[in-house]
Every structure is written in C-alpha cells, then in structure tokens.
C-alpha cells in the first residue's frame, strides 16, 4: 500500500515512480495489469494529476509501463526481474593496512622537503588565470607541443639526444607507456626483461603480452647470449644504471646490443633511462638512443624520480621509422596526462626550475649517501657487511659476509622496526644466486633517519 510522505525530501512524483516500479519488478503488479487512471490515482492519493502524469511518463519512458491510446497504462512484462534474482551481500575485505616501520629504507620515496611548492603554485596560478581553450580542450594524443619541445631541449642539453618534438609521446607514467609500446610493437612478439630488475616492469609485460622471458645479467649489464639463445625480439633494458644492481653498461656492450637489434628487422630495444638525473659522479653515459642509427631504440623516461612519485608524467622517444606506425595505429588515443599538468611542467622546464631542482636533489642525495656509507664504515656493522654503491641511483646494495641470509637480514631488521628489501624480491623468474644481499634506499630519508636506521640495524644484525 502506497502512502505519500509529504515531508519526504524526495519529490512526490519520484515517490510514486519508485513505488510502482518496485511493485512491477517484484511482480506484485502483474505483466499486462492495468494501472489506475491518472485522475483516480490523484484523487485517491490527494496529489495533483500532473504529479501522477510525471510518474507515469517516466515509467513509460523507462519501459516499465506502456500506454494503450484511449484506454490507459499497463504494466510491461519485465523478463528476469531483478526481484527474482538472489540478492548477494557485498562482502569486502578491508584494504590491508600498510605495515608501519619506524625507519623505511624505501627505494621509491621522494624527499618532500625539497619540492618547489611555491614555484609550482606560481606556475599553476599563471596557467589557470590564462585559462583559455588550450587548457580545457584535448591536446594532441602525443601531448602538448610546448611540453614536447621543452623535453627535446632538456634531452639535448642534459642527455646529448637530438630528437624532434614529433618523436615525443607523453603519457601517464612508464607503466602506461610500456603498455602503449606493446600495442605498437605487437603483443605476440617475444619480450625480454632484465632479471633481476623492476618487478613492476615484468608484471606490465606479463599483463599485456604473451611471451616474456628473463634477460640474464653480468657485470656489463644485459647479456647478449641471453637475448639470442631465447629468441628475444624486444629487450627492455636499463643501460644507464641498472636497478637494483647498479651496473652501468660499458660502451662495448652498448654497441653489441645495438648490433644485435640491427641484425633482424623485428628486433627492438626499449631503453629505460629511469634515473638518469641522479648520476652522482662524472658525466652521464651516452644513451643507446643517441648511438642508434637504425631506428631500433625506443627511449623511455619519467619525471617520477626527479619530481614526485605522485606526478604521473612520463615520455618516450619513438624512432623515426616507427612513427608512422604509431600515428596510424595509436594516434587515436587521447593523451593520458591532464593538459594543466603538462603546461605547468613545460614552464617548469623552460624557465630552468627543473634543472635547479634536480641539481639540489642530486646534492642532497649525494650528501645522504656519503653520510650513509661513512656511518656504515664507522659502525661495527662494517665487520659483516660489504657495501656496494654505484655512480647513480639512490640506494645501496648491502651484502652480508657472515653467512646471514637475506631473509634473516630482512626479518631481523623488521623486528627492530626497520625495513630493508631483500634482493630476491627483484628476481621475477629464476632464483637469486646470492642470497645474502639487501637493498637500502635513502632518497626519502634525512641523515638523522639514516643514523637511527643504522643503530637499529646494529641491534638487529650483530
């Protein structure tokens, strides 16, 4: 029995609509049954005819009732009514709470203290107040041209790359861009990823394509025989600075890998230059992209490490011979980065803020690393640890020499509230050949945090 609640905030026609719809769905009003006339119902419920008319017209528009001209309204036959289906309760597991550590030697935290909030805010204001069509309407699928130009200028000055803005594709982070690349090169090719390496990279390939194989590593980086023996066609590698081993690929291996790519028309290299901004000593290593004369190298980089992990802006440089294929197959995609963010970043690059920011970060990370290494040397831990650092990156590789296993190292540290990361975590395929190594990042940690962490590690490991 319907009663109209005049105090309900819902409009009267909606109360009526909901009631009748519910009755039809439950089968209480049978298919084909005639509904009361508008006039009769309005008199009965003491509401206006217009209200009844509105409810009936919505019910008719949505297909719950139909009208027979000159006769009235009838209930539709609703097959498989939802009322007949069993209502399933929504059972949700709560999202697992993050385990809290007093000290977390994470490898992917940014130092928030240095982020140039005021500059970013100033640029946001400028761009919002310019507020025109460019800001609101879609840009090219490859990204805002001004940002692509700014990236080209940056790459020329700091990475020795000579590329054209048309080769640049901007996207929401390297995971997204990798997915796009797989669509470009074809998901049925045989892909190779470094093992050990970023586990996420492996997972992106696994989620998107049919064959992903491990590329074995040696002291010069990705092993050539590993590529050829397994029939890998597209190799994802990090020649500038391998994560987590820190290897920098020497020139000879670079040229060998390029020759490998040129030896067959279906081979490509994806060069992930993820932390090139944080090379601490010496000159940046020349990229494979800059050595490539055969359009076989796709260069990939992001602003995640140098700006903030929360800012999903990456880019890739497509070699000239793949560009036409990119435009025809994937040119329809809208760019995944908000235009607003792109315009801010373009100005941030053009006016030199980025360069200054990276240079401050680099100095900060260098001082933290020196503090970390020195403190380890001065600590009794030095008796049981080998410390490996490389010319880049923001973490140290620690190897126990007292027979303690990686698992023990990680668990004992956790027992003292400190998080370090076992190297096995970065092996997606085979097993870790040396089970006594852990990684400790320092990019998001103050000198004080590092010292506290080392003190706790002394309690844990000695």
Measured from the CB atom, the residue of 311 and 316 that comes closer to a copy of itself is 311
Q: Under the criterion CB under 8 A, does residue 131 sit at the interface with a copy of itself?
A: yes
Residues pairing with 271 in the sheet = 237, 299
Going 344 to 350 to 353 to 355, the CA torsion angle's sign is: positive
Residues 380-399 that bind a copy of itself (CB under 8 A): 391
Q: Under the criterion CB under 8 A, does residue 164 sit at the interface with a copy of itself?
A: yes
In the block, tokens 């009748």 appear at: 20
Residues 438-457 that bind a copy of itself (CB under 8 A): none
Q: Under the criterion CB under 8 A, does residue 129 sit at the interface with a copy of itself?
A: yes
In angstroms, the first-to-last Cα distance of the chain is: 77
Q: Under the criterion CB under 8 A, does residue 239 sit at the interface with a copy of itself?
A: no
Binder of a copy of itself out of 49, 128, 229, 462 (CB under 8 A) = 128
- Please check whether residue 190 is in contact with residue 213, taking contact to mean a CB–CB distance below 8 angstroms: yes
Binder of a copy of itself out of 46, 117, 352, 448 (CB under 8 A) = 117
Measured from the CB atom, the residue of 101 and 340 that comes closer to a copy of itself is 340
Smallest distance, Å, CB 254 to a copy of itself? 8
SS3 of 297, please? strand
Measured from the CB atom, the residue of 154 and 461 that comes closer to a copy of itself is 154
H/E stretch holding 75: strand 72-75
Binder of a copy of itself out of 56, 64, 348, 365 (CB under 8 A) = 64
Residues 309-338 that bind a copy of itself (CB under 8 A): 309-313, 320, 323-324, 329-330, 332-338
> How far is it, in rounded angstroms, from Cα 237 to Cα 427?
15
Binder of a copy of itself out of 34, 39, 44, 81 (CB under 8 A) = 81
402-441 footprint of a copy of itself as x/- string (CB under 8 A): ----------------------------------------
Q: Could you count the other beta carbons within 10 Å of the beta carbon of residue 420?
A: 26
Q: Under the criterion CB under 8 A, does residue 124 sit at the interface with a copy of itself?
A: yes
- Please check whether residue 382 is in contact with residue 165, taking contact to mean a CB–CB distance below 8 angstroms: no
Which tokens in the block code for residue 318?
């497509």
Residues 187-216 that bind a copy of itself (CB under 8 A): 187, 199-200, 203-204, 207-208
Q: Under the criterion CB under 8 A, does residue 283 sit at the interface with a copy of itself?
A: yes
Residues pairing with 222 in the sheet = 217
> How far is it, in rounded angstroms, from Cα 338 to Cα 25?
43
> How far is it, in rounded angstroms, from Cα 209 to Cα 205?
6
Q: Could you count the other beta carbons within 10 Å of the beta carbon of residue 411?
A: 12
Q: Under the criterion CB under 8 A, does residue 110 sit at the interface with a copy of itself?
A: yes
Q: Under the criterion CB under 8 A, does residue 364 sit at the interface with a copy of itself?
A: no
378 φ/ψ angles, rounded to the nearest 5 degrees: -80, -10
């Amino acid at each position: 029995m319907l009663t109209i609640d005049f105090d309900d905030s819902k409009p009267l026609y909606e109360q009526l609509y909901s009631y009748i719809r519910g009755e039809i769905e439950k089968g209480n009003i049978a298919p084909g049954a005639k509904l009361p006339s508008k006039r009769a119902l309005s008199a009965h419920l003491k509401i206006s005819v217009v209200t009844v008319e509105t409810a009936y017209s919505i019910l008719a528009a949505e297909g719950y009732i139909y009208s027979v001209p000159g006769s009235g309204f009838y209930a539709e036959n609703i097959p498989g009514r939802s009322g007949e289906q069993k209502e399933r309760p929504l059972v949700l597991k709560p999202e697992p709470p993050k385990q809290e550590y007093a000290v977390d030697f994470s490898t992917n935290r940014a130092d928030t203290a240095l982020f140039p909030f005021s500059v970013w805010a100033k640029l946001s204001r400028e761009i919002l107040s310019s507020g025109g069509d460019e800001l609101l309407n879609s840009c090219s699928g490859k990204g805002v041209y001004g940002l692509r130009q700014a990236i080209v200028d940056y790459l020329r000055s700091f990475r020795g790359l000579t590329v054209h803005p048309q080769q640049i594709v901007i996207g929401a982070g390297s995971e997204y861009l990798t997915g796009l690349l797989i669509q470009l090169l074809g998901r049925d090719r045989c892909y190779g990823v470094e093992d050990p390496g970023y586990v996420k990279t492996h997972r992106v390939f696994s989620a998107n394509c049919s064959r992903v194989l491990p590329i074995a590593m040696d002291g010069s980086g990705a092993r050539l025989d590993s590529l050829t023996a397994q029939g890998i066609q597209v190799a994802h590698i990090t020649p500038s600075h391998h994560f987590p081993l820190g290897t920098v690929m020497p020139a000879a291996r670079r040229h060998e890998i390029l020759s490998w790519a040129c030896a067959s028309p279906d081979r490509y290299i994806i060069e992930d230059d993820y932390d090139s901004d944080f090379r601490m000593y010496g000159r940046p290593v020349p990229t494979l992209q800059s050595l490539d004369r055969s359009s076989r190298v796709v260069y990939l980089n992001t602003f995640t490490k140098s700006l903030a992990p929360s800012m999903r802006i990456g880019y890739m440089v497509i070699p000239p011979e793949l560009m036409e294929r990119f435009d025809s197959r994937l040119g329809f995609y809208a760019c995944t980065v908000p235009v607003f963010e792109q315009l801010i970043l373009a100005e941030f690059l053009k006016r030199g803020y980025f360069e200054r920011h990276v240079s401050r970060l680099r100095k900060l990370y260098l001082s933290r690393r020196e503090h970390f290494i020195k403190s380890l040397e001065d600590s009794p831990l030095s008796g049981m640890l080998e410390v490996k650092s490389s010319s880049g990156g923001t973490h140290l590789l620690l190897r126990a020499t007292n027979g303690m296993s990686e698992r023990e190292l990680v668990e004992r540290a956790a027992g003292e509230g400190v998080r370090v990361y076992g190297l096995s975590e970065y092996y997606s395929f085979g097993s870790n050949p040396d089970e006594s190594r852990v990684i400790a990042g320092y990019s998001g940690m103050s000198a004080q945090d590092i010292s506290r962490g080392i003190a706790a590690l002394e309690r844990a490991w000695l």
